[in-house]
Structure 1
Amino acid sequence: MVAGSALAGGALLLTGGGIARAAVREQVREQAREQAADAVALRLPAPTGPHPVGATTLYLVDPSRRDPWDPSLPVREVMVTVLYPAAQADGDGCPIAPQMTPGTASVFAQVAPLTNPQLPNAGVDWAATMTHAHAGAPAQAVRRPVVIYSPGGGDPRTLGTYVAEELASQGHVVVSIDHPGDAGAVQFPVTTSYRSECIRTTVFRENPRTRPDVYRTAIAARLADIRFVLNQLELLAAGRNPDAADRPLPQHLPRALDLARVGIYGHSAGGTAAAQAAYDDRRIRAVVNLEGYLDYPPDQPGEPGPLFPVARYGVNRPMLLLGTDGFRNADIDRSWSAMLAHPNRRTSRRQIDDAMHWVFSDFAAMVPQLQADGLMTAEGRDQMVGALGPGCSVAMVREYVLAFFERNLSGT
C-alpha cells in the first residue's frame, strides 16, 4: 500500500543517533507547519436540530473473534463514535471535537487520492476540519432512539459526520462504526501486546467489488462488527462501561439509549451491511441503504452475482433504498428491484438527481469547497458528488434519513 510505504519511509528517517533524530524531527515539524499554513481547512455543515450534540468514542474488543484481515491479531478490535443530544452546549473540558485525529488525517491525506483520484494530493489540512459536537459533554438523561452507521468501503467512520450530527441534534443517539482493516485508517487509544501501533490502515489495494473473496470477507466482517456493537450497547445501557481501555463515559450516556428503538443506515458497502444486518438481527427495527449493492459480485465476469438473503427473501421491517441518478447501474437496479418485489411493501426507493455516489458522505460538503479553492476540477467534482449544490444535496440526504427514522422509530 502506498500510504503504508510512505509512513514506513518516514519512520526510517528517524532511526539514526539522538542528535540526528532531533534535527530531522524539527525539520519535519517545520515543513508540516509551513504546509499547514498554506493548506485549506474545510468546513462541515452545522446540524439544524434543537439539541446541542455531545460526542465520545468507545474502544471495543471482541475476544471471541480473531481479526478477519490480520491473522496475527487474536481478537477483533472496533472503534466507534457515539453522538448524542447533550445536556449543555459547552462547558469545562468539553471542547469541539475534530472530524479526524491528526494521525488518521495524515493517513487519510495519502489514502483518499488513491481511492478517489479526483481529490488533491496536497493543499488540504484534513486535520483542521471541526465537527459541531462537544467531546465528553453530559448527555440528556432521556431515552432516545439509537441509530447505527456503517460507512462506505475503505472510509473512516468520521466521513459520515454531516448526517450523524443532524440525527443527534434531532434527538437520536448515533453510533458510527469503524471496521479496522477495511477502513482507510483507524486510531486506537492504546497499543497492545499484539498490536504495536495505535493506527491501523486498510488492507484494500483495489475496489473490493472486483474481488469476490475480498468482498465476502468485508461484508461478513461488517455484519459481525454490527452484532458485536449492538451487544456492547446493551452492556452500556445496563450501566456498564464497555470501553476496553476503561476510559470514562460522558455523564448520563447509559440512560440515553433506548434499545427498543434501534435503526441502522450505511453508505455503499455499509448500506449493504446495514440491509443484511436488519435481516439477520431482530433488534433492528428500520434500515436505510445509501446506495449499497444487495448482491455479491459474480465469480465469473458478465454473470449476475447471487443476491444477499435480504434481497432474496425480503424483510418485514421498513427499509429505504436511497440512491442517485449518477451511480445507478444494472447491478443496483437488479438487486434493489428484487428487494422491492417482495409483497410486504415495507421497502421503498428514492433517488436524488444530479448527484453521485459520494453525496452521502461528508464529501458532499467538502468537494465543492475544494473546487472553489482551485484544488479540484469541475469534472472531478461531478464524478464524486454530482452537479447538485451542497445547499440542496446535504439538506435532501438529511431530510430523507431523518424523516425515515422519525417515522419508524418514534414508537416504543
Structure 2
Amino acid sequence: MTSSLIRKTVGTDRRTFLASSVLAAGLVLAGPLGTARARAADGLTLRLPAPSGPHPVGAATLYLVDHKRRDPWEAIPVREVMITVCYPARTVHGHPLAPQLTEGAAKAFRDVDVVFHHLPDKGVNWGSTLTYVHTGAPAQTVRRPVLVYSPGGGDPRTMGTGLAGELASHGWIVVTVDHPGDASEVDFPGTMQGREKVRTTVFRGDPRMDAHRFDTAITTRIADVRFVLDSLEALAAGRNPDAKGRALPEGLGLALDMRRVGVYGHSAGGTTAAEALYEDGRIRAAVNMEGYLDHTPQTPGRPGELFPVARYGAGRPLLLLGSDGFTHREELERSWTPLLAHPRGCARRERIRDAAHWVFTDYAALAPQLQAAGLMPAADRNALVGAASPAVAVPEVRRRVHSFFARHLPPS
C-alpha cells in the first residue's frame, strides 16, 4: 500500500524467534562505535550500515517556511518543512556524528512508529542510534548534483538516513524531506501556532483508503518538493533560506548544482518523485521505490485514475524499483504498466528479490538486528523488509539507486 503507516498484521507466536538467521548482519552493520552491541540498561542500540564512498559526509538541518501555503492537515497558517542536507565534507574534524533521531523525535517514535510498524515497544533505545554524518562540517566547494528524498506515507525522513549518507559519500548532495502532518513525527526548532515542538501524524489508517486524504497527501508532497527546490536555489544563490536564520555549514551553498536535480522516494514518496518529475522541469531523473501511480480507485478492485506521469509518460529517466514481497504488487503493477508501455520510453522497472516493502528504508538494517536480539519475530521482520540478509539487501538497494543516478546525474 502507499501509506507506510499500516501493513497487514502477521499472526505470529511472539515467543518464537529465529535470531541465528541474521548473524550475517554484522558484516554491514558496524556502527560508528563498533559492531552492533548487546543491550545496555536503557535498551539495545541499533546500528546503521556505513557508507561505502570515498567522501566523509556532513549534514545540516534547515527549517523552511512557505508563507504562500497554509498547512492542509491542521490549523497552521503557513506550510512548514524540515529538511536535512547531506553533502561531501571538506573535513569532519571536530564535528560530532549526528543521531538518527533527536531526543524529541525518538520519544514520539516510540509512541507512533513502534505501533504502526509492529516494532518492539520495549528493549530498544531509539534515540541512541548514531549516523555517519557529521553535524555542521564544512562542505567541499565543488558543484555537485542534488538529490531530494521523499519518504513513505507516515514515515519520517530519518528512516532514509542510510541511503542518503551512502549517496552523499559518493559525491551527491542529498536532501531528505519531512512532510509534516503526514510524517510520523517531525521535530521543529520551536513551537508554532497550532502545533507543539514535535508534530506527529494526523493519519490513523492507510490514507490510500480515503480518496480525498490520499490526493491531499500527494498534492501536498509535490508542492513541498517544489518549495524545497526553490529554497535550495536561494541557498545556491547565496541566501540563507532557514526561517530561523541559523548559521549554515561553510561552503554549503557553493556545493549545490541546481541545474542537475534528481528526486527519489519510497511508497507515497515514490508517487511524489514520479509525479514531481512530470510536473517540474528542473527535475532531470527520478526513482520511484514502490509507489502507486494511480489515485485511489472509486470502486474497490478496479483501476484508479492514473496520475499524469503514468498517462502521458515520464519524458525523462524514471526508475520503478519494487520488491518481490510487496503484498499489493498486483495493484502496483496495474498503475505501472501504462507508464512502462508508453512510447516515450523513459521508464524502466527493476525488482529486489527476497524483499518486502520497507527494504528501501533503514528498516532493512534495523529489523534484522531486532530479530537477532529476540525483539522481533521472524514473520514480522519478513513482512516488513523481507527474508534477505541485510548484508545482501542493503547493498542491493544502494547499488540500484546509485547506478541509476550515476548514469543520469553523475556526481563528477
Of structures 1 and 2, the one with the larger relative CO (CA 8 A, separation 6+) is: 2
Matching residue's letter, 1:69: W
The Cα offsets for residues 284-307 of structure 1, whole Å up to 9 and x where unpaired, read as 000000010111111222221111
Provide the aligned length of Structure 1 versus Structure 2: 374
Query: Is 1:304 the counterpart of 2:303 in the alignment?
Result: yes
State the TM-score, normalized to the length of structure 1. Answer: 0.89
Matching residue's letter, 2:292: Y
The structure with the larger Rg is 1
Q: Structure 1 stretch 261-270 or stretch 101-110: which is displaced more?
A: 101-110
Post-superposition offset of 1:311: 0.3
Provide the rounded CA distance (Å) in 2 between the counterparts of 1:196 and 1:353: 42
Change in CA separation of 1:106 and 1:129 when aligned onto 2, cut-off 3 Å: same
Provide the rounded CA distance (Å) in 2 between the counterparts of 1:127 and 1:38: 10
The Cα offsets for residues 137-163 of structure 1, whole Å up to 9 and x where unpaired, read as 000000001000000110110100111
Change in CA separation of 1:111 and 1:266 when aligned onto 2, cut-off 3 Å: same
Query: Is 1:385 the counterpart of 2:385 in the alignment?
Result: yes
Query: Is 1:86 the counterpart of 2:52 in the alignment?
Result: no
Residue of 73, 77, 82 corresponding to 2:76: 73
Structure 2: runs of 5 or more not aligned: 6-38
SS in 1 for 2:224: helix
Give the match for residue 29 of structure 2: none
State the TM-score, normalized to the length of structure 2. Answer: 0.89
Post-superposition offset of 1:215: 0.5
Matching residue's letter, 1:389: S
Mapping for residues 170-181 of structure 1, pairs under 5 Å: 170-181=170-181
User: Which is richer in helix?
Assistant: 1
Matching residue's letter, 2:163: V
Change in CA separation of 1:271 and 1:196 when aligned onto 2, cut-off 3 Å: closer
Paired residues of 1:295 and 1:331 also in contact (CA < 8 A): no
SS in 1 for 2:112: helix
Provide the rounded CA distance (Å) in 2 between the counterparts of 1:176 and 1:113: 21
The Cα offsets for residues 210-230 of structure 1, whole Å up to 9 and x where unpaired, read as 111111110011011011000
Percent of residue pairs identical = 59
Mapping for residues 62-141 of structure 1, pairs under 5 Å: 62-70=66-74, 72-91=75-94, 94-117=95-118, 119-141=119-141
Change in CA separation of 1:196 and 1:281 when aligned onto 2, cut-off 3 Å: closer
Give the match for residue 23 of structure 1: none
Provide the rounded CA distance (Å) in 2 between the counterparts of 1:39 and 1:330: 39
SS in 2 for 1:126: coil
SS in 1 for 2:259: strand
Provide the rounded CA distance (Å) in 2 between the counterparts of 1:180 and 1:367: 25
SS in 2 for 1:263: strand
Post-superposition offset of 1:410: 2.5
Give the match for residue 231 of structure 2: 232
List structure 1 segments (4+ residues) > 6 angstroms apart after TM superposition.
Answer: none
Give the match for residue 60 of structure 1: 64
Mapping for residues 2-17 of structure 1, pairs under 5 Å: none
Give the match for residue 406 of structure 2: 406
Provide the rounded CA distance (Å) in 2 between the counterparts of 1:318 and 1:345: 9
Provide the rounded CA distance (Å) in 2 between the counterparts of 1:156 and 1:121: 18
Q: Structure 1 stretch 75-84 or stretch 105-114: which is displaced more?
A: 105-114
Change in CA separation of 1:411 and 1:386 when aligned onto 2, cut-off 3 Å: closer
Provide the rounded CA distance (Å) in 1 between the counterparts of 2:264 and 2:163: 10
Matching residue's letter, 2:115: L
Please provide the CA RMSD for this pair. Answer: 1.4
Change in CA separation of 1:266 and 1:196 when aligned onto 2, cut-off 3 Å: closer
Post-superposition offset of 1:90: 2.2
Provide the rounded CA distance (Å) in 1 between the counterparts of 2:142 and 2:190: 32
Post-superposition offset of 1:198: 0.8
Matching residue's letter, 1:105: A
